[in-house]
Amino acid sequence: MVTDEQIFKLLTPFADGRVGAIRTKDGQLTVMLDMSGLAPSARNYIAQQAEAALAGLDGIDAVRILQTAQRSAPDLIAVASGKGGVGKSTLSANLAVAMARAGRAVGLVDADIYGPSQPRLLGMEGSKPVAEEKKMLPVIGAGGIPFLSMGQLAKPGQAIAWRGPMAGNALTQLVDAHWGSVRELIVDLPPGTGDIQLSMVQKHKPIGAVIISTPQDLALIDAARAISFFDQAKVPIIGVVENMSGYICPNCGDVSNPFGAGGAEAAAKELNLPFLGRIPLDIAIRHASDDGVPPALGDGPIAKAYADIAAKVADWADQRTANMGG
């Protein structure tokens, strides 16, 4: 008679970590497999492999595979700014890459209806995700980051016209996709506090928000507005990132401060919020981003700056989980 341990060993090569209860009764073997997060094609594949691996075992006449889905949806981490052009999309892509490099299962949703830029930032311009059982399958971008973008749902310029329910439905399609083993989903929000943000806090509440600003006074005033929006929605602010602080001259290496410096850190302090770090204004960031190679994949000071911010966000998420008792 075959033992549970033997069955477990037979299933491990393709269902590692997914094998649940095993029951043998009257020649019928029932095995529970946790298929949560998997796309239907992957579920079918594993179930077929399991049936094949368990066929013809000593004392077993019939094999039944029970599929369960216990794992919950990924946690959402919003990246927001008060105004456009401050580097929110660049931070979102690089935060995802840096967190993944640190070993976390991270995905990315590009919810920016005004200028969806993640397909370009992740080197997958023109990519079209396919759907399985009416849910989208994320596309794998640079750094192995699974992502979905408003830019993949609509023709260029079309999404801008989306209002209220349409924008909300589009966001739902991106968030409720086949995220598989992804545990944390970075959401690149449009700038400001519009329909997408409302839908986000009402329907897909993020566990926290990262606010990005340049050091300029005006950008900071807008950032404060975004902060108060999340405060009112009871979404905790993970912290503030200062972008484009200190310009490193590519010729002489001198550092100047075209947008000022330290403004976001001072503002964070004033608002009693954690400061997560600063990213300098560096043309290399723009070039790498335009080429679809997130600078966080490198190993110079820029990659380090993103890695430090990612570590703080990860710590925050872990602390939150610990506080929740699990």
Ligand X SMILES: Nc1ncnc2c1ncn2[C@@H]1O[C@H](COP(=O)(O)OP(=O)(O)OP(=O)(O)O)[C@@H](O)[C@H]1O
Count of alpha carbons within 13 angstroms of residue 153, beta-carbon side: 30
Rounded least distance, CB 141 to ligand X, Å: 15
Using the rule CB under 6 A, is 84 a contact of ligand X? yes
Q: Which of 118, 152, 197, 289 binds ligand X (CB under 6 A)?
A: 289
Q: Strand runs (DSSP E) across the chain, as ranges? A: 19-25, 28-34, 62-68, 75-80, 106-110, 131-132, 135-136, 139-141, 145-149, 184-188, 208-213, 237-248, 255-256, 275-281
- What residues numbered 195-224 form the site for ligand X, per CB under 6 A? none
Residue where the block lists tokens 């401060």: 257
Q: Does 92 belong to an annotated binding site?
A: no
SS3 of 33, please?
Answer: strand
Rounded CA-CA distance 296/98 in Å is: 6
In the bound state with ligand X, the residue whose beta carbon lies nearer, of 115 and 151, is 115
Q: Does 88 belong to an annotated binding site?
A: yes
x/- map, 231-250, ligand X, by CB under 6 A = ------------xx------
Rounded least distance, CB 36 to ligand X, Å: 32
User: What length is written for the chain?
Assistant: 326
Q: Does 89 belong to an annotated binding site?
A: yes
Stretch binding ligand X (CB under 6 A), from 8-16, 41-49, 70-78, 83-91:
83-91
140 bridge partner residues: 146
Rounded CA-CA distance 228/51 in Å is: 54
Stretch binding ligand X (CB under 6 A), from 80-88, 173-181, 253-261, 269-277:
80-88
Q: Does 41 belong to an annotated binding site?
A: no
278 bridge partner residues: 242
Q: What is the DSSP string of 254-268?
A: -EE-TT-SSHHHHHH
- What residues numbered 108-147 form the site for ligand X, per CB under 6 A? 112, 115, 117
Using the rule CB under 6 A, is 86 a contact of ligand X? yes
Q: Does 84 belong to an annotated binding site?
A: yes
Q: Does 134 belong to an annotated binding site?
A: no
Known binding-site positions: 82-89
Positions in the binding site for ligand X (CB under 6 A): 81, 84-90, 112, 115, 117, 191, 243-244, 279, 281-282, 285-286, 289
Known binding-site positions for ATP: 82-89
